Structure formats: structure tokens, C-alpha cells
Amino acid sequence: MAAEGGEATEDLIEILEASPTPIDLARYVNHVRDPAAGAIATFEGTTRDTFEGKRVLELRYEAYVPMALRRLRAICSAARAAWPLRRLAVAHRLGTVPVGEASVFTAASAVHRADALEACRFLIDEVKASVPIWKKEVYANGEVWKENREFLQRRNALASSSCCCATKVVMDDDAAADAAAVTAADDGGSGADKEEFPAV
């Protein structure tokens, strides 16, 4: 497995080489578990059995591993810059992933659940938009390389000279102050007024 620690080894980022073994979800959940965290948010992407009416037999994944690890590190940094987080974990499986099994898993822990949930969402959205991993959908009578809509939307930014740099999260000053004071019981969450998600 190709692994990469995050800032100060807080984050666990792994790309799992082809193997029949499913992702060990508990491993990543346990990594983000933190005594200071009030919330752990996770996302599991699973192979589904149907696409546009066609029966999917399996998905096959491949990756440009060194660059994928690099992108995942950058995505975790961007998440940390945008939300107050405790720990992060991302795992992506390569090779054949049968129907029902997880191909990707993201986990985020934070003091408050809004930050954990938003960061977890951000991680998977960014995987879809910018991490060089590809999947082939295999049917009974053919196979096709899939294309993420998120990538097609992000493509121009990726190919331009101004992307992949500083985060662009805009936080209103009052909201930032409120975020520090809010408790877990408050459904307004962090109250942060983010105009744009971080550009990674």
C-alpha cells in the first residue's frame, strides 16, 4: 500500500494496491478518533449494481499513484485551512471492487459536527474533482471508462496557471467569532459563511 502521513502525522492517506481485501473502515475511523473531537463524519463510496439501466458487474480502478498521494495531501491541507479539524483519513482502493464494496473512504473528526460533516463532504468532492484515479465500469457486454462530472467542471481551472494554490474560503468576521463560541447543541453549526469552497 502506498501511504502518506499528513501534517505532523495527523492525517492518514492511503492508496491500496489491488487486492481482494475490502477497505478496513475501522482502521480509518480509529485514526481520526480523538479525545477532543465531539464528532466523526465518514463517507463510504460503494460500487452500485446499475448504471443507466445497465447491470454493472464490477468496477476496476487504477491511479497515477505518486500524484494521487500528492493531491490527497493538498486536499487535506485545504480542508484544514477551511475548517477547524482534529484528524483526517482518506483511503482509495485500486483494482477490482465488486458490487456493494467500498472503493473510497473518507473520515474527518472535529470538535463540532458541522465542521466534521462539511470537511468530510469536501474530501470526497475533491477526490472526484482532482485526484488522478480512474475507474472502468464493467458490464456483461462491454466496459467503459467513467468520467466524473466534477472533473469536467474543474478541468479548466486545473489546466490554467492560476489553480491549485491558496484556498479561497471567504469567512465573514462575525461568523468567525461566532464559530469559536458555538456549542454542539447549536444547529447553526459553525455559522461560517463560506462563499467558495477552497480551491485546491
Known binding residues for substrate: 112-113, 128, 135-137
Q: Does residue 133 touch another protein according to CB under 8 A?
A: yes
- Comparison of 34 and 151: residue with beta carbon closer to another protein: 151
CB of 20 to another protein, least distance (A): 20
Cα separation, 2 vs 118, whole angstroms: 26
CB contact at 8 A, 105 and 88: no
Cell of 181: 463560541
Give the count of alpha carbons within 13 A of 152, CB side only: 4
Residues marked as binding? 112-113, 128, 135-137
Amino acid letter, residue 11: D
* Rounded-to-5 percentages of helix, strand, coil across the chain: 35, 30, 35
Q: Which is nearer to another protein, 24 or 62 (CB)?
A: 62
Per-residue binding string, another protein, 170-189, x by CB under 8 A, is --------------------
Dihedral sign computed on CA atoms, order 141, 49, 61, 128? positive
Interface mask toward another protein for 70-109; x: CB under 8 A: x---------------------x----------xx-----
CB of 150 to another protein, least distance (A): 9
Residue 190 and residue 111 in contact, taking contact as beta carbons nearer than 8 Å: no
Q: Does 191 bind another protein (CB under 8 A)?
A: no
24 burial (CB, 10 Å; 0-12 / 13-18 / 19+) is: middle
For the segment 2-41, give every residue that binds another protein (CB under 8 A).
Answer: none
Note the residues at the interface with another protein (CB under 8 A): 45, 61-64, 66-68, 70, 92, 103-104, 124, 127-128, 130-136, 145-148, 151-152, 155, 158-161, 163-164
